[in-house]
Chain A
């Protein structure tokens, strides 16, 4: 492997890391409240609201059923509008975030669903408002499960980030595509694949450890 390619791979690792980190962060900033809303407006929950739940649920379902590659293409104008360009590492963060939001929302919803309803009843009987109950009872109780879901989400974003290479994004995915696939450099292809696998495993491990550390049951 030439020094040129080695440098490209090192830069790729960094770009993949940056894309995954920021896309995950932004997707949680929007996806977490959305998941809380999905959970709390569903039937029998604190803020039961058929209309709100139906609308958010529908949007999330539609967004989730679009293949990410199609979403990437569809979002090009939007990406250009947000960051001024549709190619490169920074630009990739936009479709990655949008693609991850519905996944995060559903994952958060399912984590919150695991919380014992008795705890919510106890909070209500103490005179806690719905918002207080969500912030101080439900979310703390669901934290280990949220962290575990978080690790899965970050690994998914990492996988998606490799796809961003197809439409001019950076990162390991782009290197695998350009050198490994288009130029038949199998060593580059396998090196990047191995690196991606290692990164996913690291994320999973960190997630599991964090979740275990916070789990008091």
Chain B
């Protein structure tokens, strides 16, 4: 598979009133054709800046961004506009033209690309069909719900047959149910149209649901990048752990005890591990937090448990879980 984007040692520094602010520090990563690539980070981490360097809405101050081996910084204004037909974008605030109908909004990128009227109308209607909104073609955006507006924005983004779709917090203004529907739609488009998608988000649940690979940005630095399943089951960086761990597990009852985190994937989730532990070893653990989620279609469970004080018992318990094929990591 070839690389859609190759980001090499990218720096971005803003100057404001003589003060310098570095939004991106030495970020390097690749986005491969056909994948859904997530970029996650807290607000202010630099992820929105990073995604804007991919279509040169932001100029980099150092390093380079290659789109199919072409350095975006080397393009002249007209060439850049041409390339932008291949890099679509959707936004948190939808950014539809309120004074134009849904159909006319979807036609815009085709109009910019110089497609004749009849052809672009036909294409726009097709796009509306993909997102399930043909019946709203003559409606103005103000009459649509948030989820519908984002669907229109997706139809608009697809109209010019882009090679990649950038999503900047595209679901952050939507409620969980609608978020799920929009993510399902993006996944469908990714599979059916083989469209590469880059998703910027601050929500782990978005990454878990549809991303193949994920990059974690923390304070302008790339903290971690890898397959979503690996990062989720075994986060290495502090930033990744912060995102993956539940934000507020119960306090352990006894602060002298050891707290560990267990992760089990779909292959193990049918076994009653805790009950087996008690039966086999006679040792008890205190569950501080437990949940299950689906990561890329596979059921993941994670549990934070407090172990007894005795080091020997702790060892036995960890041994038991490790033998069972669970991933065990210490929390703290």
Q: Taking beta carbons and an 8 Å cutoff, which residues of A are in contact with B?
A: 116, 118-119, 121-129, 132, 136-137, 140-141, 143-144, 214-217
Contact = CB atoms under 8 A, between A and B. Distances in A.
B112 A132 contact: yes
B81 A137 contact: no
A128 B57 contact: no
A128 B95 contact: no
Which of A121, A143, A216: most chain B Cβ within 10 A? A216
Contact of B98 (A124, A126, A217): A217
Given A128-B112, A216-B99, 13 more contacts: A116-B93, A119-B95, A119-B97, A122-B89, A125-B55, A126-B85, A127-B80, A127-B83, A128-B81, A132-B112, A136-B111, A216-B98, A216-B142
A127 B99 contact: no
Given A121-B91, A216-B99, A217-B142, A126 B82 contact: no
B100 interface: yes
Shortest Cβ-Cβ A-B pairs, 6 listed: A127-B84, A122-B95, A118-B95, A216-B140, A127-B81, A125-B89
A127 B85 contact: yes
B88 interface: yes
Contacts of A123: 108
Given A140-B100, A216-B140, A217-B142, A126 B95 contact: no
Interface of B: 55, 57, 77, 80-85, 87-89, 91, 93-100, 108-109, 111-113, 140-142, 160, 166
A118 B109 contact: no
A216 B99 CA distance: 6
A88 B181 CA distance: 68
Which of A122, A144, A215: most chain B Cβ within 10 A? A122
Contacts of A136: 108, 111
Contact of B95 (A116, A143, A214, A216): A116
A214 B99 CA distance: 8
B97 A141 contact: yes
Contact of B91 (A118, A128, A215): A118
A143 B100 CA distance: 11
Nearest to A124: B57
A127 B142 contact: no
Contact of A125 (B87, B99, B140): B87
Contacts of A128: 81, 108, 112
12 contacts: A118-B91, A122-B91, A127-B82, A127-B85, A127-B109, A140-B100, A141-B98, A143-B99, A144-B99, A214-B99, A217-B98, A217-B140
A125 B77 CA distance: 12
Contacts of A143: 99
B195 to A, nearest CB: 16
B57 A137 contact: no
Contacts of A140: 97, 99-100
